[in-house]
Amino acid sequence: MNILSGNRPGALPLTLLLIVVVGCLALAPFLFPGTRALDTAAKICIFILLAASYDLTLGYGGIVSFAHTMFFGLGAYGVALMLDHLGRGWLPMIGGAAAGAAAAAALAFVIALFSLRVRAIFFAMITLAVASAMAVLVSQLSGLTGGEDGLNYQIPRELTPAFRIGKLFDVTVNGKILNYYLVFAGCTVLFLLLLRIVSSPFGRVLEAIRENDFRAEAIGYPVLRYRAAATCISAAVAALAGALYAIWLRYVGPGTTLSMEIMIDILLMVVIGGMGTMYGAILGATLFVLAQTYLQDLMGAGAEALSAVPLAARLLDPDRWLLWLGVLFILSVYFFPTGVVGRLRAMAARSARST
Amino acid sequence: MPDPVLETRGLTIRFGGHVAVDHVSCAFMPGELTAIVGPNGAGKTTYFNIISGQLPASEGNVLLRGEDITRLPASERTRRGIGRAFQLTNLFPALSVFENVRLAVQAKAGRGMRFLSMASAHRSLAARAEAVLEEVRLTRLAGQPVSALSHGDQRKLEVALLIALEPSVFMFDEPTAGMSVDEAPVVLDLIARLKAEGGHTILLVEHKLSVIRSLADRIIVLHNGALAADGPPAEVMASAVVQEAYLGQELADV
């Protein structure tokens, strides 16, 4: 079986980079021991999947939606509510994920039906409005959702640090590591599924619609139906990413799943990585989460080292990390308008021509 | 006499107060090639757009094999056999020439909603796409993105997409517009071959009278959106209405 669905990275440096990232993620518990590193690795996995599902609509379908965190949140809250109300167990956990995904797909279908007919800008506005309404609803229904405080709940014992198995390469293998591998495996399978979908006849039609929706309709593809299907698939996958996040964090709140900030993050991950490439989501999400997590530390170290230089030390003060994150994004979008993947592929194509 | 494949009854479209197509009633027979002529702005392309579903009719009906398709979306009309090539080239610019044709073949086969198979695994579609490219002499450019093609080659690809759809009604809107003298025959030969195959209903908007003479079984003339003349080529070309409609424009350059 062709696991990459015939969809190859297409450039040697890109392939190597992807192998390094995926290899590091696969062996994260053994390569980078420590709670914080493992948390970061899990977050990277989940955001790769989330960004990839967003790329299906944005990069392949040319559909701009701001409701992606809403779908992400539906999956997370599905798991959280089930585990909170029915108690810890595998069945409520899986049931919650399935219910969240189904709800996300259904809601995406309704939004698509009502608003994909209209111009792209109106569709974007409608998704923004629905997502904001959902965020308000979740924070107001505090009896059910815990409001702004969110929900804490118990996950099956086998996935918690209390469940110990033994030692492997000097690392204590416990439920937390099993939990990590659940996240990793879930994200891998769903990512490969997305990769399959973009290489399928359906995925090709999506690209055609992005290129010229008028002609796609004229050669016999009902554009609305294809866009609706893409939105539903993307929403369901985002919800499953949310479910994995809820299982990993054992906590769900509006700030971790529904906020507009996360929406902007996903958008940036896809754009920085490269739209319409799928592999861009891997690089974009990895770079982004790493910068978000470690830039502050790096700057702290930098400020320390430069403490003798008056202005530089103040510029590198860890409190200014958001400023520098912003500068990094502006630079990356400026220098890589087609994303990291687009840039690497273009370089490979150039060197192939010159030889 | 056989039943018409395509028929328009009182077909009308208004843009505000302007009537662009004015109660045009016309029936198109199987195996017949009809040339649609008229000065610029006479409503030829608009008439096409209403038939193939790009514009909604204000009044009147479009019938395909007796069935009313006036309210159907463009994609559904294409699925039922109305194929259209556009006057202004209208392709998928970033995709390869091959992929453009393959998409049309895939649409015809009704395989767009397959999510889990690989597009490249549908070998029969690829083979058909290659055959169509061969027909329009574009095989050597198959791997190029459309945006890299010359105008003439893009026009050929436009026709290739229509052929790939295997429609029962072929609608060509000035298929050779802007093509060089060397390139135009490829497209005209194709249309002639389609006609020779028989059974296809072909509608052709064309300005060059030499082309119309050699290909058309029938000419209809649109003038200010209304049907001004309809009949065999020799008869229509001789009529006073046409002389007036054209005001010596195209008839002069015979």
- pLDDT, tens digit (0-9, with 9 covering 90-100), for A159-179: 878 777 777 777 778 888 889
Nearest to A202 among B73, B113, B161 (CB): B113
Q: Is pLDDT above 80 for A96?
A: yes
Is residue A167 one of the residues assigned to a domain? yes
Q: Please give the radius of gyration of chain B, using alpha carbons only, rounded to the nearest integer.
A: 18
Selected residue with higher pLDDT from B251 and B17: B17
Q: Sign of the C-alpha dihedral, residues A132, A133, A138, A142?
A: positive
pLDDT at B246 (0 to 100): 62
Average confidence (pLDDT) over A206-212: 92
Rounded to whole angstroms, the Cα distance separating A254 from A269 reads: 20
Average the pLDDT over B168-193 and give the result. Answer: 88
Determine the pLDDT at residue A106.
Answer: 95
CB B165 within 8 A of CB A216: no
Phi, psi of B230 (to 5 degrees): -160, 120
| B142 vs A316, residue with greater confidence | B142
Would you state the structure tokens that stand for residue A323, as one six-digit string? 């400023």
Q: For B49-100, give the DSSP string.
A: HHHHTSS--SEEEEEETTEE-TTS-HHHHHHHTEEEE-SS----TTSBHHHH
Residue A174 belongs to domain spanning: 27-260
Tell me which chain A residue has its CA closest to the CA of residue B92.
Answer: A211
Q: Which residues of A touch B101 (CB under 8 A)?
A: none
Residue A285: phi and psi, rounded to 5, are: -65, -40
Neighbours of A279 (CB within 10 A): 30
- The helix (run of H) or strand (run of E) holding residue B129 is helix B123-135
The answer to whether residue A182 sits within a structural domain is yes
Looking at residues B76-88, what average pLDDT do you find?
Answer: 91
pLDDT(A230) > 90: yes
Do B205 and B173 touch, CB atoms closer than 8 A? yes
**How far apart, in whole angstroms, are the C-alpha atoms of residue A312 and residue A309?**
6
Distance CA B51, CA B5 (A): 12
How far apart, in Å, are the Cα atoms of A187 and each of A236, A310, A329, B230?
A: 13, 46, 25, 65
pTM for the complete prediction?
0.88
Distance (Å, whole) CA A62 – CA B52: 25
At A55 the pLDDT is: 94
**Banded model confidence at residue B254, pLDDT cuts 50, 70, 90:** very low
pLDDT for A20: 92
Q: Which of A116-120, A255-259, B33-37 has the highest mean pLDDT?
A: B33-37
Question: Tell me: the pLDDT tens digits for A65-83?
Answer: 999 999 999 999 999 998 8
Identify whether A39 is part of a domain.
yes
Backbone φ, ψ for residue A274 (5° rounding): 125, 115
Interface test with A, best of B113, B132, B147, B165 (most A CBs within 10 A): B113
Please determine, for residue B109, whether its predicted confidence score (pLDDT) is greater than 50.
Answer: yes
Burial class (CB in 10 A: 0-12, 13-18, 19+), A50: buried
Per-residue pLDDT at B73 exceeds 70: yes
Provide the pLDDT confidence category of residue B235 given band limits of 50, 70 and 90: confident
Q: What is the mean pLDDT of residues A152-157?
A: 82
Residues of B in contact with A2 (CB under 8 A): 118
Q: Would A300 be classed as within a structural domain?
A: no
Domain count, chain A: 1
- What value, to the nearest 5°, has the Cα angle with vertex B216 and ends B215 and B221? 140
Please give the average per-residue pLDDT across B124-130, as a whole number.
93
B106 or A116, which is more confident?
B106
Residue A6: predicted pLDDT: 66
**Which ipTM value was assigned to this complex?**
0.88
Residue A208 has pLDDT above 80, yes or no: yes
Structure confidence by residue, pLDDT tens digits, A123-151: 888 899 999 999 999 988 888 888 788 88
Instruction: Answer yes or no: is pLDDT of B193 > 70.
Output: yes
Range of lowest pLDDT (B35-44, B48-57, B58-67): B35-44
The larger pLDDT score, comparing residue A339 to residue A120, is at: A339
3-class DSSP string for chain A: CCCCCCCCCCCHHHHHHHHHHHHHHHCHHHHCCCHHHHHHHHHHHHHHHHHHHHHHHHHHCCCCCCCHHHHHHHHHHHHHHHHHHHCCCHHHHHHHHHHHHHHHHHHHHHHHHHHCCCCHHHHHHHHHHHHHHHHHHHHHCHHHHCHHHCEECCCCHHHCCCCEEEEECCEEEEHHHHHHHHHHHHHHHHHHHHHHHHHCHHHHHHHHHHHCHHHHHHCCCCHHHHHHHHHHHHHHHHHHHHHHHHHHHCEECHHHHCCHHHHHHHHHHHHHHCCCCCHHHHHHHHHHHHHHHHHHHHHHHHHHHCCCCHHHHHHCCHHHHHHHHHHHHHHHHHHCCCHHHHHHHHHHHHHHHHC
> pLDDT, tens digit, for every residue of A17-26?
899 999 999 8
Which of B52, B95, B165 is nearest residue A208 as measured by Cβ atoms?
Answer: B95
| Disruptive mutation site among A5, A7, A219 for chain B (greatest number of B CBs within 10 Å) | A219
Percent of chain A with pLDDT over 90: 43
What is the rounded average pLDDT of the residues A104-113?
92
Whole-angstrom Cα distance, residue B227 to residue B92? 34
Confidence band of B64 (pLDDT split at 50, 70, 90):
very high
For the cut 60, the answer to whether the pLDDT of residue B25 exceeds it is yes
Of the pLDDT bands very low, low, confident and very high (cuts 50, 70, 90), residue B9 is: very high
- C-alpha dist (Å) from residue A306 to A303, A310, A313, A322, A352: 5, 8, 5, 19, 43
Residues in A 194-213 with any Cβ partner in B closer than 8 A: 196-197, 199-205, 207-208, 211-212
Task: For the sheet with B226-231, list strands across it.
Answer: B82-85, B169-173, B201-205, B33-37, B218-223, B226-231
In a domain, A322, yes or no: no
Of residues B24 and A326, more confidently modeled:
B24
Q: What is the pLDDT of residue A1?
A: 43
- In this prediction, residue B251 carries a pLDDT of 47
β-sheet bridge partners, residue B26: B8
Confidence at A5, pLDDT banded by 50, 70, 90: low
Cβ atoms of A227 and B112 within 8 Å: the answer is no
**How much is the average pLDDT of B73-80?**
93
Q: What is the pLDDT of residue B176?
A: 86
How much is the pLDDT for A302? Answer: 79
CB-CB under 8 Å, B93 with A218: no
Q: Contact, A7 vs A192, CB < 8 A?
A: no
Contacts of A233 in chain B (CB under 8 A): 115
In this predicted structure, the answer to whether residue A95 has a pLDDT above a threshold of 80 is: yes
A240 is a domain residue? yes
Answer whether residue A186 shows pLDDT above 70: yes
Q: Is residue A13 part of a domain?
A: no
Residue A298 lies in a domain: no
> Which residue in chain A has the smallest CA separation from B160?
A219
Determine the length of chain A.
Answer: 355
Q: Give me the mean pLDDT over the A39-54 stretch.
A: 95
| Backbone φ, ψ for residue A173 (5° rounding) | -85, 115
Residues whose CB is less than 8 angstroms from the CB of residue B104 and which lie 6 or more positions away in sequence, other chains included: A219, B129, B160, B161, B162, B164, B165
Cβ of A226 within 8 Å of Cβ of B112? The answer is: yes
